[in-house]
Amino acid sequence: MTEVVNSQPLERLVVVGLGLIGGSFAKGIREKGLFREVVGVDLDAESRRQAVVLGVVDRCETDLRAACEGATVIQLAVPILAMEKVLAQLASFSLGDAVLTDVGSAKGNVVRAARAAFGLGAVRFVPGHPIAGSEQSGVEASNAKLFRRHKVILTPSPDTDSQALELVDRLWRALGADVEHMQVEHHDQVLAATSHLPHLLAFGLVDSLAKRSENLEIFRYAAGGFRDFTRIAGSDPVMWHDIFLANREAVLRTLDAFRDDLDALRDAIDGSDGRQLLGVFTRARMAREHFGKILARRAYVESVQARDRVFEARPGGVLSGSIRVPGDKSISHRSIMLGSLAEGTTEVEGFLEGEDALATLQAFRDMGVVIEGPHHGRLTIHGVGLHGLKAPPGPLYLGNSGTSMRLLSGLLAAQPFDTTLIGDASLSKRPMERVARPLRAMGASIETSAGGLPPISIKGGQRLRGNHYDMPMASAQVKSSLLLAGLYASGETSVSEPASTRDHTERMLQGFGYPVALGDKRTALVGGGKLNATHIEVPADISSAAFFLVAASIAEGSDLLLQHVGVNPTRTGVIDILSLMGADIALENPRHAGGEPVADIRVRAAQLQGIDIPLELVPLAIDEFPVLFIAAACAKGRTVLHGAEELRLKESDRIQVMADGLAALGIQAEPTHDGIIIEGGEIGGGEVWSHGDHRIAMAFSVAALRASATIRVHDCASVATSFPNFIDLAAQAGMQVVQEAKS
């Protein structure tokens, strides 16, 4: 059999069934010249005539045997309930090594029919399903481009002939389709939920309304919502009747689950349970908005091409004016967590609408908390109390967010239900035993996966005991995780840290009226209390402001004001380090907002000097080192960092990745086991890779201000995790960073 689709044409393609799908397949393949001839078979004489006239096929046959004997590929595009009969007929012909495939919308019944007809010979049958329907039908609607950028699912079994599979796969790809492989049962269940159930609802709703005596009246006022929802009730009734009969079991399972949910909605309306309704509606709205993103990020894990979002940072620029960077990520996470566990309604302002904080938000929605928003940074959280969370329907997907995973581990260890925490490719490489181990010492049942990495499985229903933990590393995430578990533990939970780390959890707990004992690098609380809802104002994130602190410092002539930045002393290491390097930074109008110190920060360009970074400042600037390394590259002389081995465990190995990028731009940077030595120098243009780390991507964008040519930063999709509007704000301040158009 010929193997390469685009060299020598194959001999004969037979398409049995010249409807929209069969006709479009035939036409597309014919236009590509992939076969010497494309032959159509259809029971209907008019369809056969039109297929030839419209150039869908080269010729038609009335006799199935005459068409199929000697064929290279036979595509079955007949109605799904006719498949069994056609397959049985085909089995009585001499088909040689022809490859058989189909386009049926349900796969279980077709696969069973092929096995019944061909027995072991079914290995040359490749079941397929293009997801490219339309309300149009018939050969006259054939469109050679119908499958372009649409999904085609192939459902081979383990014994399907690999050459046959490859050939069918290539034919669909030649038509521009995205081909995926799936197990038959999985396909049928997924399609029952995403396609078959919606069609059933649309047909059912229109029929139910049309039957009523006042139907004319109803349809006269039917507006956009009705039209959108019922558009698919215009689909081919016979085809859909076939699909429901063919995919009976999977549809029934989905329909039963949906009926339960519909009953719950009915009860909520009956009982005037507005909170339940709001919960369903807000969850649904969020899910709809974010499914696309979640899917894109999963695809981004799988496909390098989709992942490579490139920032092109052009040299030069002066920063001026006044900007406000988005809300603090750490505080945003905690506002959702504590707001959800509080009694009463918590209002949040300034919430960071980045993917990490949204992952936490979604997790709490999945656990039954009703959260309105976010709308321009505002949220209303209807707290459920410390004991009001419900078991989520499946694993909690936390994207790229280490903070979500580590803090939630502590909180979930104390719940009555089991949970599994999963994340994207980067999060799946981050160490989780640092929280699991001390939580186990409190009585938690928590398992990490091989190597101490995610996924994390947590068994509910454990009684936690207060404990003292001496943290071996300075980590606010570990400290916070234990304090959250401590809310549920008997007695006192206390944590000592080797160096002070961010104290947002402690401050916010106090803001919610929960007593916390604060000592010198020691924090303690006693379980069994409660949280009272409050108002939270999230200040701008100093970790995001840091990019502009460095940018304005290194770009000659700059004078920039950063508004309302959180200047909690456990976070201001970046200001101290830059000041030691000679930066011109002033805090103006210091004040308090929502229990956190806040100020406007004025920064003017200055000549920076290399320094030895004081050890005690390292934990206070832990997230800002990527951009501080850019400051070091622009400084006179040598900058030395030690005591920062934690940097190797962040969203990427920030020491190695920064050293590689700096070297690519002509800067001498020598990584050490716990830090880096950087010699200031001339920055050149070039290509650098962020390795999916948001802060690295933004740091190298800043470097361009002093570069001799453009810096192209690869792999920047993750910037959306902490700073979704980075490019816009950078432009507003005077930088020239653009996202390259996708090719």
Q: Residues with catalytic annotation?
A: 623
* Secondary structure (3-state) at 365: helix
* Residue with Cβ nearer ligand S3P (27 or 502): 502
* Residue with Cβ nearer ligand S3P (101 or 330): 330
From the CB of 649, what's the least distance to ligand S3P, in Å?
A: 7
From the CB of 198, what's the least distance to ligand S3P, in Å?
A: 40
- 8 Å CB contact between 733 and 550: no
From the CB of 596, what's the least distance to ligand S3P, in Å?
A: 13
* Residue with Cβ nearer ligand S3P (370 or 575): 575
* Residue with Cβ nearer ligand S3P (480 or 493): 480
Structure tokens at 548: 């502009």
From the CB of 481, what's the least distance to ligand S3P, in Å?
A: 9
Residue 476 binding ligand S3P, by CB under 6 A? yes
* Residue with Cβ nearer ligand S3P (365 or 650): 650
Distance CA 114, CA 626 (A): 59
Total Cβ atoms within 10 A of residue 238:
10
- 8 Å CB contact between 488 and 414: yes
Residue 719 binding ligand S3P, by CB under 6 A? no
Residue 480 binding ligand S3P, by CB under 6 A? yes
Scanning 80-88, 194-202, 390-398, 470-478 for contacts with ligand S3P by CB under 6 A, the matching segment is: 470-478
From the CB of 184, what's the least distance to ligand S3P, in Å?
A: 43
Distance CA 16, CA 319 (A): 66
From the CB of 654, what's the least distance to ligand S3P, in Å?
A: 10
Q: DSSP H helical segments within 132-196, as ranges?
A: 162-174, 184-191
Q: Is the dihedral of CA 530, 532, 533, 537 positive or negative?
A: negative
- Taking CB under 6 A as the criterion, the residue among 366, 497, 600, 623 binding ligand S3P is 623
From the CB of 331, what's the least distance to ligand S3P, in Å?
A: 8
Q: What is the CA radius of gyration of the chain?
A: 31
- Taking CB under 6 A as the criterion, the residue among 30, 199, 365, 502 binding ligand S3P is 502
Total Cβ atoms within 10 A of residue 555:
23
- 8 Å CB contact between 579 and 585: yes
* Residue with Cβ nearer ligand S3P (610 or 619): 619
Distance CA 446, CA 409 (A): 8
From the CB of 651, what's the least distance to ligand S3P, in Å?
A: 8
From the CB of 222, what's the least distance to ligand S3P, in Å?
A: 49
Scanning 150-158, 209-217, 288-296, 475-483 for contacts with ligand S3P by CB under 6 A, the matching segment is: 475-483
Residue 403 binding ligand S3P, by CB under 6 A? yes
Q: Length of the chain, please?
A: 743
Residue 427 binding ligand S3P, by CB under 6 A? no
Residues in Cβ contact with 610 at an 8 Å cutoff, skipping those fewer than 6 apart? 581, 632, 635, 636, 637, 638, 639, 640, 678, 679, 680
In the sheet where 178-181 sits, what is the strand order?
Answer: 128-130, 151-154, 178-181
* Residue with Cβ nearer ligand S3P (126 or 598): 598
Q: DSSP H helical segments within 522-604, as ranges?
A: 542-554, 573-580
Instruction: Supply angle C-alpha 269, 272, 277, rounded to 5.
Output: 60
What mask, x for binding ligand S3P by CB under 6 A, covers residues 554 to 593?
----------------------------------------
What mask, x for binding ligand S3P by CB under 6 A, covers residues 305 to 344?
-------------------------x--------------
Q: What share of the chain is helix, strand, coil (3-state, %, to 5)?
A: 45, 20, 35
The backbone torsions φ and ψ at residue 101, rounded to the nearest 5 degrees and listed phi first, read -150, 170
Residue 477 binding ligand S3P, by CB under 6 A? yes
DSSP single-letter state for residue 457: E
* Residue with Cβ nearer ligand S3P (414 or 484): 484
Scanning 68-76, 148-156, 472-480, 591-599 for contacts with ligand S3P by CB under 6 A, the matching segment is: 472-480
Scanning 141-149, 301-309, 469-477, 517-525 for contacts with ligand S3P by CB under 6 A, the matching segment is: 469-477
* Residue with Cβ nearer ligand S3P (282 or 568): 568
* Residue with Cβ nearer ligand S3P (27 or 333): 333
Instruction: Supply angle C-alpha 650, 651, 652, rounded to 5.
Output: 85
From the CB of 110, what's the least distance to ligand S3P, in Å?
A: 50
* Residue with Cβ nearer ligand S3P (71 or 499): 499
* Residue with Cβ nearer ligand S3P (309 or 694): 694
Burial (CB count within 10 angstroms: exposed 0-12, middle 13-18, buried 19+), residue 460: middle
Residues in Cβ contact with 6 at an 8 Å cutoff, skipping those fewer than 6 apart? 34, 174
- Taking CB under 6 A as the criterion, the residue among 342, 405, 622, 702 binding ligand S3P is 622
For the chain, the distance separating the N- and C-terminal CA atoms, rounded to the nearest angstrom, is: 35
From the CB of 624, what's the least distance to ligand S3P, in Å?
A: 10
What mask, x for binding ligand S3P by CB under 6 A, covers residues 630 to 649?
----------------x---
Distance CA 370, CA 354 (A): 19
- 8 Å CB contact between 309 and 717: yes
Scanning 131-139, 193-201, 476-484, 608-616 for contacts with ligand S3P by CB under 6 A, the matching segment is: 476-484
Total Cβ atoms within 10 A of residue 33:
10
From the CB of 513, what's the least distance to ligand S3P, in Å?
A: 21
Scanning 28-36, 336-344, 391-399, 474-482 for contacts with ligand S3P by CB under 6 A, the matching segment is: 474-482
- 8 Å CB contact between 660 and 616: no
Structure tokens at 154: 């192939």
User: With helix as H, strand as E and coil as C, how does 388-456 read?
Assistant: CCCCCCCCEECCCCHHHHHHHHHHHCCCCCCEEEECCCCHHHCCCHHHHHHHHHCCCEEEEEHHHEEEE
Residues that bind ligand S3P (CB under 6 A): 330, 403, 475-477, 480, 502, 622-623, 646
